[in-house]
Structures are given as C-alpha cells and as structure tokens.
Amino acid sequence: MLRNTAKADWTHTFAGVATALFCTFTSFGLVIPVIPRLVTEELHGSAFQVGTAFTVSGVVALLVRPYAGQLAQRRGSRPVMLLGAAVIIVVAGLYALPLGLPGLFAARLVMGVGEALLFTAAPSGPCP
C-alpha cells in the first residue's frame, strides 16, 4: 500500500510540474509573433528595439538563475516555482497596459526574473 501511495504522489507532482511548465512555455511563446509588430507598428520603434525587447528577458534570466538556484536550495523548489509563476502572471497583465516602449522593456525585464525563478527551480525537484 505504501508503494502505491508514493507512486501516486510522484505522478501527481510530475503532472503538476509538467502542466505549469507547459503553460508558462506557452505564455512565453505566444508573445514571440506579437512583440515585433507591437514595437514597430504600434509603438513606432525600430528593429533594434525589437531585438532589445527579446534580449532583455534572456540576459536578466541568465544573470538571475544562480540566485534563483540558491533560493530554491534554501527555501525549496515549490515556493520558488510558485513565485516565478506569480511574477509571470503579473507580467502578462503588464503586457495589456499602454506603457509604451519603456513599459515593454520593464515587463520583459521582470519576465526574465520570473523565467529564472520558475525554470531554475523546476529541475530541482519539488517535493509533494
């Protein structure tokens, strides 16, 4: 009986992590075709600013990942993943606000933090 419970817990945890990662990867991917048009047509920006909008989140994620890993080791991966998911949800709301190019760059910066928190903590193995 104990083995079945442990297997069920592991399966439940895996399904939760897989669902969270699927949703967040989808949310990251959905903005890829939108940002270039938003920057160039709506915000009258340049191709360089389109590239900057994408680069900001990647660079921030790269810089924050070591700290996110340390945080996941100290606090546990589940709270860090939840924090990352919450940050990503907040950024999704920021995308809808008319904040111009500076607002878009700020949102992409914060998205990098959320990405680092979520994707660094996920492979650490959340405990049920």
Alpha carbon distance 60, 56 (integer Å): 6
Global pTM reads: 0.79
Beta strands of the chain (E only): which ranges? none
| Ordered per-residue pLDDT tens for the chain, 128 residues | 455 665 667 788 788 778 877 877 787 788 889 899 999 999 999 999 999 999 999 999 999 999 999 999 999 888 998 899 889 888 888 888 888 999 999 999 999 999 999 888 877 554 44
Please, what's the largest Cα pairwise distance for the chain?
63
Alpha carbon distance 63, 112 (integer Å): 9
Res 6: pLDDT = 58
Res 3: pLDDT = 57
Res 1: pLDDT = 47
pLDDT in tens, 56-70: 999 999 999 999 999
